Amino acid sequence: MLLAYLPPLNASILSSRLPIDDDDVFMVFEDVYRGRSILPPHDVPNKPALVRWDYTRPLSADNVVPMDQTDADKHVRRCHDLKENPEDVWGQEVKVVYERRRQEILKDKQWFMEMS
């Protein structure tokens, strides 16, 4: 089971729907990240979770990354409320992987919009 890890939100921010759906979750986890964690050595997570990478940007398919639940907890603790930047927590190598995968998602979205 893939968990989309979202920290508690202020009630005024909640809406009736999340900006990503089941298809987005599947595409990000299976197609883009190939069922593996963004973190080296890019293992298959025992308890996978999607977590928002950059808390300065809105939740979207190109702003979530797969990690094991324990790593997701660490990410939220350290990056939520803009305490630290994700690249400071995980390193430049992980940021490069994130940016490459993000561009892949944006390219796929553009192709889909052109085909619609």
8 Å CB contact between 67 and 37: yes
83: Cα separation from own chain's centroid: 18
- Per DSSP, the residues of 60-104 read -GGGEEEEEHHHHHHHHHHHGGGSS-HHHHH-HHHHHHHHHHHHH
At residue 30's C-alpha, the angle toward residues 29 and 33, to 5°, is 60
Q: How many structural domains comprise the chain?
A: 1
Domain extent, residue 13, equals 3-115
| Positions of the chain with pLDDT under 50 | 1, 9-15
pLDDT over 70, % of the chain: 86
- Determine the Cα angle at 109 with ends 93 and 97, to 5°: 5
**Separation of CA 91 from chain center:** 16
Question: DSSP letter at 29?
Answer: I
Task: Look at residue 12 in the predicted model and tell me its pLDDT.
Answer: 44
